[in-house]
A and B are shown apart, each in its own frame.
Chain A
């Protein structure tokens, strides 16, 4: 009796599946909505968001792969991104309903079968000739919503594809690539809106955060991040950002920089978006007196209106190219016996910040790199104790100026690669780099065929044995609990799990696993090219999987000097690698 009932239920299920597969055109196929995206951190059967949840903690509670058995991890399959475009795979995959969606360099999207690795479809954006991305041809990931996969292109467009077919649903220009704008970050989806930042050249642009209707791509609000510029909401003026000319002279705010090129995070509890902003323009800080708000800052923005609720500037009056775009990760902790809603950011400038995420109040700033020459810590009010001799001089144009040694280098104590927060250990895992640069006035400089006051620089290591360092930071004490040193600069994202593990890749080609508590290296696998993507994990058919993109590239190989010695023999590539434990 029982057996027969089971069979008939199974029969009904089979009919339902057949109906669904034969009638895909009748109704838009369902898919993850707002509720699913907001719950991504706890739903272990999929990866729906950049960062494994809107807070982007990059933490999975999965425990099947753990510090006790990770040594047995083996590849399940690898899928190539093919063609000649084998460089710069900085993407984080999305996993849903048996499909892995991953973006590739040169504005491409691939859908692979999550069980076999076979390609289901691919989409290649047709890029115009006239684009000049500053820092390689990377893309950092896609977003999923309903029947759509949404990603941004090097020519500053947002493209929504049907996730089953790869066909374009909508395609919107978000900025003018001819004016120097580009887009490389993974979009964030909140309340049915696609939230994006912008990226572009070093001058002539103003950073902004924008919200668009996820179904049409139509603009809902626009918020410039440099004070004095007007925001909009549904086509109407919505107040200027900050106060005109409070921290900028003359008309420089109109071209003040502050590109929000790395995207943002969202905390459903406080209903705030958190976006980091880039360095101010022009590069020579002596020509733009003042703090230059809100460049090199973290902003909290109301997703419903695009209004800035608070700001915290990590590098006032930046003169070192320490842009402040790094991810601000919401987390909760008890400090001095008081439970607090906090957020943390590891900045290009070498300091790890903890703020009260409800109001932006400064809690602490702790150095996470070997050396900072530009400042000696922060006051209890959150202002850097700037070392005046550490600021590059004003160019005089007549002779080669005195070289200033600056650490971190302009590529930062931490660059774009996202850190992770483990809810069990209470630690942040920061992919960092120990390097410095000599910077001097370069009298013989030319730009667009004309004489120019440039700066010469060389990036160099500051330690014998390493540049990269994966560091475990205790946000409550500001102490580094453990570190793993790597010869080449680290340039990939981090994943941490309930199995007491931390995963990250190296330019030398390894995906590595570490004990989250002790930092002991437990496992590594050679992927054939440098790993500069962000790993993910999910559960499928009762097994836990780990995936990462392999494909050396990004900004590091574009700059040489002594640092290049650490990666000159690394080969190009472009593959998705997927791992699991062998079945008993």
Chain B
């Protein structure tokens, strides 16, 4: 009971409860190393970034979170966050305050848009470490649709999109609403992509990571990807980074160093490739 190990674990348990003032108020990085755990918030049901496969939490963000913890010499505690109405709400629930029903705020949250105006209005967090450039991708079943044709010509075909997403708004509204009756809605972008691989839709508009990962897993040969830009698509793409509490900048600095090393060693690229996604550096990186 009085051996060193017993004392240590008691101290850490007390620190976890905030009972050891020195440790609770220590610089976040020191505290994480003392506790031996990095709590990482990732989105729930966000394939290919973080989702459950046979009960196991996997995905690009899950692997990056684990790698960050490993580089810090601690264990990763991956916490699945349910998306609220906007990422601003998610930052409150996931990083700086915690959820109303007891979701404990994480040390770091992945998959946060890296955008100057967005960061400016979320001043309770520091958004760091941009690690990917995301964009929307249109993909078609070969022989059903000419993927590079003007969108108005898609009329009469089954078009898949995640409900209440930019792809949904775009397909419902483009060409004066001519395609509105043809849009089939899914609860996630990945499900929308799966629909074109098993004959339930002729084309899909989803994020590039969603399209690439599903097509890689399904080894679908008969799918073409649009190479021309979609006219008047409201998003040119966006950078994805990470968020830490505003007062955790030394954690943010440490993570940026680890990320740079992961890029240099090819580890980051390998994580993306594991899920069939082409690694594209963030524009801001």
Q: Which A residues form the contact surface with B (CB < 8 A)?
A: 106, 127, 129-134, 136-137, 154, 202-204, 249-252, 254-255, 281-284, 286-287, 289, 394-398, 443-454
Could you tell me the distance between the alpha carbons of A451 and B165 in the complex, rounded to whole angstroms? 8
CB distance from A182 to the nearest CB of B (A): 11
Which residues of chain B are near A130, meaning CB under 8 Å?
A: 44, 80, 82
Check B51 for interface membership: any CB of A closer than 8 A. no
CB-CB nearest in chain A for B237: A451
27 contacts between A and B (CB under 8 A): A106-B101, A127-B101, A129-B101, A132-B82, A133-B101, A203-B163, A203-B164, A204-B163, A204-B187, A250-B180, A251-B183, A251-B184, A284-B169, A287-B168, A394-B173, A397-B234, A444-B118, A446-B113, A446-B115, A447-B83, A448-B46, A449-B112, A450-B238, A452-B86, A452-B165, A452-B166, A454-B86
Could you tell me the distance between the alpha carbons of A398 and B234 in the complex, rounded to whole angstroms? 6
Interface size on B, residues (CB 8 A): 48
Interface flags for B142-173 (1: CB within 8 Å of A; 0: not) read: 00000000000000000000011110110011
Contact partner, A281, options B82, B102, B117, B164, Cβ 8 Å: B164
B:7-53 near A, CB below 8 Å: 43-44, 46, 49
Could you tell me the distance between the alpha carbons of A405 and B9 in the complex, rounded to whole angstroms? 58
Chain B binding surface SS class: mixed
Query: A286, B173: Cβ atoms under 8 Å?
Result: yes
Interface flags for B169-200 (1: CB within 8 Å of A; 0: not) read: 10011000100111111010100000000000
Which residues of chain B are near A282, meaning CB under 8 Å?
A: 163-164, 168
CB-CB nearest in chain A for B46: A448
Which residues of chain B are near A250, meaning CB under 8 Å?
A: 180-184
Q: Which B residues form the contact surface with A (CB < 8 A)?
A: 43-44, 46, 49, 80, 82-88, 90, 99-103, 111-113, 115, 117-118, 134, 163-166, 168-169, 172-173, 177, 180-185, 187, 189, 207, 234-235, 237-238, 240
Query: A287, B100: Cβ atoms under 8 Å?
Result: no
Which residues of chain A are near B43, meaning CB under 8 Å?
A: 448-449
Could you tell me the distance between the alpha carbons of A398 and B170 in the complex, rounded to whole angstroms? 13
Which residues of chain B are near A133, meaning CB under 8 Å?
A: 100-101
Query: A132, B118: Cβ atoms under 8 Å?
Result: no
CB-CB nearest in chain A for B42: A449
Which residues of chain B are near A127, meaning CB under 8 Å?
A: 101
Contact A397 B85, CB 8 Å, known A449-B43, A451-B113, A453-B234: no
Could you tell me the distance between the alpha carbons of A149 and B114 in the complex, rounded to whole angstroms? 50
Could you tell me the distance between the alpha carbons of A106 and B82 in the complex, rounded to whole angstroms? 18
Most chain A CB inside 10 Å of its own CB: which residue of B118, B163, B207, B237: B163
Contact A450 B207, CB 8 Å, known A154-B101, A281-B164, A289-B177: yes
Query: A137, B101: Cβ atoms under 8 Å?
Result: yes
CB distance from A278 to the nearest CB of B (A): 15
CB-CB nearest in chain A for B173: A287
CB-CB nearest in chain B for A553: B100
Which residues of chain A are near B102, meaning CB under 8 Å?
A: 129
Could you tell me the distance between the alpha carbons of A281 and B101 in the complex, rounded to whole angstroms? 26
Please name 18 further chain A to chain B contacts, defined as beta carbons within 8 Å, in addition to the given A106-B101, A395-B169, sorted by A numbering.
A130-B80, A133-B100, A133-B101, A136-B100, A137-B101, A250-B181, A250-B182, A251-B183, A284-B169, A397-B169, A397-B234, A446-B113, A449-B46, A449-B240, A450-B134, A450-B238, A451-B113, A451-B166
Which residues of chain A are near B177, meaning CB under 8 Å?
A: 289
